[in-house]
Amino acid sequence: MIFRAPRQPFALDPLIAEAKRRARQRRFLGAVSALTLLAVAAGLALQLPSSGRGTRTGLAGDRGVDALTIPKGTDGIAVVVYGRLSVTTKTGFHIHGLSVGVASLSPRARYVAAGIGNALTELAPSGRRVWSQPVGNPVADCGACNSVATVSWSPDGSRIAYLARTSTNSGNQVLHVIRRDGTHDTVIDSNAQGGQPSWRADSRALAYIGAGGKPIIYDLAHRSRHVITWPAARSLPTHLAFAPRGGDLAIATETAALLVGGHDEVVWRGQTHGVNWLGGRLAVSERLAPSGRHGHYVTQLYTVTHSGVKLSRTIRLPGPIVATHGRTIALGAGNSVLAGPIGSLQKVFRFRIKPVYSGCACGELPFARQSISFG
């Protein structure tokens, strides 16, 4: 007869149990670290340029991933939405989420001029600051005082025109012209009004809105001003645009679109939201009655010749044209920026609409005329 002792419960040695517990802990931490590295790698991949055609990125404060793509026919595009800059170019210039007031790409998209804080700053493709020119000191309870309001590059890329807000309540702004290397900052007019300055094609003259809302052409070579006193231009101007060739100047007022230069002509009468040049044709954006949430816009394209102006085409668009580059246009619609030739617009940028107050995403797009620019 064989006696078998009763089976006793198995108990690990305390040291072995502790070793196994630590091994399980190391395996768990290793798995967490691996997942974290994968997440970081995926995030970086989303921020890298995609096939040289654009990049995907998220604006600071957004949980979603936005897209920014270079439209065909341009060297780059810059978009400012809610004070955040996104830039992508064919030369590898990528900046995303930088806090700025306004910004503009230089010709051929080699540099960005931006209003950052109380200074005008030029950024290189690497994102480094080439130079910074102060425009005044911060003013308590007035974040916009002594800051850059608009930026405009000359067609040859040699100069930058910019408007600086003042700390007074007059509403006037100071128009400056500075060389591209940050030297020879010159005050052109201390009583300028809002609106984007426009350069003549030869980069020797600049159109802007002066005191009293009068359109003015400033000749840099002769340091002289020509005030446009044509009666039809007395209505408050909102936008000026020199033709890409020659000296024709288009003026948008609250009630009309005008053309001055070789001949003075009223091109359009009605509520006008802006004028631009699309190749050699003048584009006038007119707003119609609201339809749905955002309304719709009509763009009139005019052929300008020595004998006069002739309507060539009428196009309905989801928004007014904000920027042009050759035959490429950009406009805002909903929470997207559309760009490309008129017949084949594509979404190149998406963003989340910022609530005006809790629970409401109201109002139109936060695009001023300088919020989109091509290089």
Q: What is the pLDDT of residue 25?
A: 59
pLDDT at position 366 over 80: no
Question: pLDDT of 293-318, one tens digit each?
Answer: 455 789 999 999 888 899 999 999 98
Copy the structure tokens of residue 186.
């010159």
pLDDT at position 292 over 60: no
Q: What is the pLDDT of residue 371?
A: 86
Contact predicate 304/353, CB 8 Å: no
- Taking residues 22-42, what's their average pLDDT? 48
- Alpha-carbon distance 162 to 358, whole Å? 35
H/E element, 76: strand 76-81
pLDDT at position 335 over 60: yes
Q: What is the pLDDT of residue 209?
A: 95
Lowest mean pLDDT among 51-60, 92-101, 125-134, 236-245: 51-60
Q: What is the pLDDT of residue 23?
A: 54
Lowest mean pLDDT among 178-192, 249-263, 345-359: 345-359
More confident site: 243 or 169: 243
- Amino acid found at 274: G
pLDDT at position 220 over 80: yes
Lowest mean pLDDT among 84-98, 103-117, 252-266, 349-363: 349-363
| Count of Cβ atoms closer than 10 Å to residue 357 Cβ | 7
- Taking residues 278-303, what's their average pLDDT? 78
Q: What is the pLDDT of residue 92?
A: 83
Considering 63-72, 107-116, 258-267, 316-325, the range whose residues carry the highest mean pLDDT is 107-116
- Alpha-carbon distance 78 to 58, whole Å? 15
Of 76, 56, 87, 164, nearest to 119 by C-alpha is 164
Long-range contacts of 111-117 (CB under 8 A, 24+ apart): 111/180, 112/78, 112/85, 112/87, 113/151, 113/153, 113/160, 113/162, 114/85, 114/148, 114/151, 115/147, 115/148, 115/149, 115/151, 115/162, 117/147
Q: What is the pLDDT of residue 1?
A: 41
Which residues is 88 bridged to in the sheet? 77, 94
- Taking residues 273-282, what's their average pLDDT? 92
Copy the structure tokens of residue 302.
């005019």
Average per-residue pLDDT in the chain?
Answer: 79
Question: pLDDT of 173-219, one tens digit each?
Answer: 999 999 999 999 999 999 998 889 999 999 999 999 999 889 999 99
- Alpha-carbon distance 316 to 310, whole Å? 18
Q: What is the pLDDT of residue 240?
A: 95
Lowest mean pLDDT among 25-39, 230-244, 331-345: 25-39
Residues 6 or more apart in contact with residue 255 via CB below 8 angstroms: 235, 269, 270, 271, 272
Q: What percent of the chain has pLDDT over 70?
A: 73
Phi-psi category of residue 335: left, alpha or beta, with phi > 0 → left and psi -120 to 50 → alpha? alpha
